[in-house]
């Protein structure tokens, strides 16, 4: 089974397409240099479809270390162009923070140019990328044409599925997705799963002359194999989807364990945090909010179950309302994202975390009749 059911993925697609602000190119980075030789490329307006992760690269004296090199081939090519604009050194390492494709489905383009670069990730990430979790990528080639037809029908009808007139803001966003449908479709047909060839379970150091890059697995977060890139001299950490802004992701995230992992992150005493999506942070305020939220949900869950409530009753009773405005600041679009990407899946994850089952199965389901 996949970690995010394909149906849920397309629900995320639809809501993002209907609600997100308009930008010219969904695969464009905004690059900035955080410290000499340390660059980050952020896909601005992070909730916009298609959701794509941040890329960070570090220029050492012997080469370039890339952390999350691009969710599509075009993004990896743009990251490569930026690298070549600032250094003539080769890419020596491509690091995958976790298995989700919006961070790595384009990295093969980096390897086309630098075939000797080492691809590094957690051992769970390699297993996931070779197993069932990546099966959702099979739906990419036909995804955009199907949604393009659906969106055109909505615009032609002028009404929502509920029979209400389509608001102008929704109409504009539907049209924007259609305007970029050819590009999105083209990129979805270029994706390729490229698992790490070098794995570790706890900690790995990369030395490029005097530059030291530490890769650390702090614990289960967005996935069981989340790793962060820690630059101790500059006190900069790139987190992958362990931390995501403006609203977190709650799919398959065990709340109590996630809170402990975030405490390990905070213990690094970073001065700059590069999230997997969203704006750079310069203190631990947002991490503290994530910890508070995760612990609140875990505490509620445990208290409800202790009272004799069923798992189903407990899941429904979990109260996220104290945190909605803290994450969304009253923005209706972000409130929708918080509900779809965090509240709904986190309810289920909070209960699943107590079953002893893995949060994500690596095995493909056996078809009926197969032995």
Three-class secondary structure assignment of 13-48: HHHHHHHCCCCCCCCCCEEEEEECCEEEEECCCCCC
pLDDT digits (tens, 9 = 90+) for 181-239: 899 999 999 999 999 999 999 999 999 999 999 999 999 999 999 999 999 999 999 99
Taking the C-alpha atoms of residue 133 and residue 126, their distance in angstroms, rounded to an integer, is 11
User: Parallel, antiparallel, or unpaired for β 198-200 and 118-122?
Assistant: parallel
Q: Quick one: average pLDDT of 95-100? A: 98
Q: Give the span between the Cα atoms of 77 and 110, in whole angstroms.
A: 7
Count of beta carbons in the 10 Å neighbourhood of residue 309? 15
Whole-number Å distance between alpha carbons of 193 and 104: 8
Residue 151 near residue 17, CB atoms below 8 Å:
yes
Confidence of residue 148 (pLDDT cuts 50, 70, 90): confident
CB 89 within 8 Å of CB 114? no
Please tell me the pTM assigned to this model: 0.89
CATH number of 6-133+191-249+261-285: 3.60.15.10
Q: Place 12 in a pLDDT band, splitting at 50, 70 and 90.
A: very low
Q: Where in the chain is the domain with CATH 3.60.15.10?
A: 6-133+191-249+261-285
Concatenated DSSP letters for 127-142? HHHHSGGGGGGGGHHH
Q: pLDDT over 90 for what percent of the chain?
A: 74
∠ at Cα 294 (323, 1), nearest 5°?
110
Nearest Cα to Cα of residue 144 among 39, 14, 31, 57: 14
- φ/ψ (deg, to 5) at 272: -140, 130
CB atoms within 10 A of CB 161: 8
């Amino acid at each position: 089974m996949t970690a995010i059911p394909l149906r849920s993925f397309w629900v995320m697609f639809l809501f993002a397409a209907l609600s997100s602000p308009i930008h010219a190119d969904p695969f464009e980075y905004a690059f900035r240099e955080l410290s000499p030789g340390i660059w980050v490329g952020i896909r601005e307006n992070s909730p916009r479809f298609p959701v794509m992760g941040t890329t960070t690269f570090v220029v050492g004296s012997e080469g370039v270390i890339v952390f999350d090199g691009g969710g599509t081939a075009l993004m990896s090519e743009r990251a490569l162009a930026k690298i070549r604009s600032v250094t003539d050194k080769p890419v020596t390492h491509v690091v995958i923070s976790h298995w989700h494709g919006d961070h790595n489905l384009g990295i093969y383009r980096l390897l086309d140019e630098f075939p000797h670069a080492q691809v590094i990730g957690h051992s769970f990430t390699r297993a996931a990328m070779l197993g069932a979790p990546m099966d959702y990528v099979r739906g990419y080639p036909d995804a955009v044409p199907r949604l393009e037809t659906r969106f055109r029908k909505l615009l032609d009808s002028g009404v929502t599925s509920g029979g209400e007139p389509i608001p102008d803001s929704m109409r504009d966003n539907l049209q924007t997705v259609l305007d970029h449908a050819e590009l999105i479709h083209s990129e979805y047909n270029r994706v390729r799963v490229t698992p790490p060839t070098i794995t570790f379970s706890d900690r790995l150091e990369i030395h490029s002359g005097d530059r030291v890059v530490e890769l650390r697995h702090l614990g289960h977060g967005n996935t069981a194999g989340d790793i962060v890139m820690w630059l101790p001299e500059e006190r900069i950490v790139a987190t992958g989807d362990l931390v995501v802004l403006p609203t977190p992701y709650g799919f398959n995230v065990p709340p109590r364990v996630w809170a402990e992992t975030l405490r390990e992150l905070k213990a690094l005493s970073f001065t700059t945090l590069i999230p997997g999506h969203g704006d750079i942070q310069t203190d631990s305020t947002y991490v503290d909010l994530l910890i508070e939220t995760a612990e609140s949900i875990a505490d509620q869950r445990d208290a409800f179950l202790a009272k004799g409530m069923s798992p189903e009753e407990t899941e429904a009773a979990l109260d996220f309302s104290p945190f909605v405005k803290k994450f969304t600041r009253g923005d209706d679009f972000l409130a929708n994202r918080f509900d779809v990407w965090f509240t709904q899946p986190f309810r289920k994850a909070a209960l699943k975390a107590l079953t002893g089952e893995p949060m994500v199965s690596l095995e493909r389901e056996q078809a009926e009749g197969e032995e």
